[in-house]
Amino acid sequence: MSITTRAAVCRKPGQPWEITELELDDPKANEVRVKFHAAGLCHSDDHIQKGDAPMRMPVVGGHEGAGVVESVGPGVTRVKPGDHVTCSFIPACGKCRYCATGQQQLCDFGLNAAIGVFPDGTFRFHSGGDDFGGLCVLGTFSQYAVVHEYSVIKIPDEIGFDVAALVACGVPTGWGSAVRAGGVRAGETVVIFGMGGVGVNAVQGASLAGAKNVVVVDPVKFKREMAPVFGATHTFASADEAFEFVRETTWGELADHAIITVGVLHDQVIADAIKITGKCGQVTITAVGGGWINENPGMLIGFQRRIQGSIYGGCSPLVDVPRLIGLYQSGDLKLDELITRRYKLDEVNEGYQDMLDGKNIRGVIMHEH
C-alpha cells in the first residue's frame, strides 16, 4: 500500500528546493522502505540543484541519510524491519567484478545514480502524473523512501541518526581520499585544498594515517580555525602561503600528497596541487566542477607525479562504513563535531545558503514525524 511523504524536490536546474508531498510506492523485490530521521546537506546535491552536474528532473534530493527500515519487499536478506541503517550513495551488489575485487565504490549497480530509476526502469516517488527520481536512487530529503537493499548498511542502534547520516557519504569520501585513494602513510606531508564536509574528513584520515604535516588551504577563516580540531597541523588562506611553508619544512622536497576537496573544482586549484607535490607525489581529486588539467606533461613525467581520481574516497561501503563507525565508537574519529547546525526539512534552502556562505562544516536535516 502506497503512502504519502513530505520531501524536498528540485523540478528544474536552478530552481530552489521545494517542499511538497509525494506518493511513495511499496517496496518491490529486494527493496526496503526507510523512515529517515536525518539527512546530510552534501555539496553534491547543491551541484545538482544549481545545474553544475547533470541529473534527470524532477528529483528528490539527498543521498546522505540514516533511519529505520519500516518494511521490506520479497527476497530482502541484508536487513529486516526495525533495523537502523545508513545509506550508501553507491550500492554494493557484492557480485560484480568491482565488488569482487574489493572496489565496491565502482559497483556496476550504481549506473542509475544520475537518473534515480530502479533497475526495472520504474520510479517509486510520484506526484500529479510525474515520476520523481531519488538522487543516487535514494532521496533522503524525504521522510520516507524506497531504496534497494544494496544501498543500505545496518548500523548499531546506539549510533545517533545525525552522525550516521554523515557516514553515508561525506565521512568515507573525505577519509578515504586520504587513506584509500590517497594512500597516505605515517610521516608524510599532506596538503588538503578545501575544508568543507569532505575536506575535514580528509584531514581526519591523513591524521589517523600518521601524516607528519597535515596542511589545510582554505580562504574561509572559520574553517581554518576548525581544522586543528580534526587533526590539521598548519592552515593557510592561500596556496602560495602553503607552498612556501611546505617547501621550507620539507627542505625543498615538497608534499607527498595533495588532496582536492574544494566546493567547485577549477583549473587553478589543480595547478596549485600539482605544484605543491614533489617527486612521486600524488594529487587526489575528489571535488566536482569544471576544472581541467592544463599542465605540460613534463610536470608529471619529470617528477613522476600521479593524478588520481577518487569516487567515495576509494572506500568499499560494506567494509569501510562499519570501520568508520568503529573508529567513532573508540573516540578516534570525530563525527559529532562535524555538525555545525541542524535544520528542519523546511529550512533546506537556508541550510545550503549557510554552506555556501562558509558558515557550516556540515549541516544536517532532522526529519519530523
Q: Which residues are catalytic?
A: 42, 44, 47, 63, 169
The answer to whether residues 349 and 219 touch, using CB atoms and an 8 Å cutoff, is: no
Residue given cell 590539521 in the structure block: 232
What are the backbone angles phi and psi of residue 162, rounded to the nearest 5°? -65, -45
Name the amino acid, one letter, at 360: N
Mention every residue, 6+ apart, whose C-beta is less than 8 A from residue 332.
208
Give the whole-angstrom CA distance, residue 223 versus residue 311.
23
The amino acid that residue 212 corresponds to is: K
Nearest to 231 by CA among 257, 259, 212, 246: 212
**How far apart are the C-alpha atoms of 228 and 107, rounded to whole Å?**
35
User: DSSP letter at 142?
Assistant: B
String of DSSP letters for 33-82: EEEEEEEE--HHHHHHHHTSS---SSEE--S-EEEEEEEE-TT--S--TT
Q: Which residue has the cell 520510479?
A: 123
What's the residue count for the chain?
A: 369
Q: Specify whether the CB–CB gap between 316 and 102 falls below 8 A.
A: yes
| Run of H or E including 274 | helix 267-276
- 110 and 119 Cβ atoms separated by less than 8 Å: no
C-alpha span between 130 and 144 (Å, rounded):
18
DSSP β-bridge partners for residue 68: 35, 84
Tell me the C-alpha distance between 290 and 368, whole Å. 37
Alpha carbons 226 and 197: distance in angstroms, whole number: 12
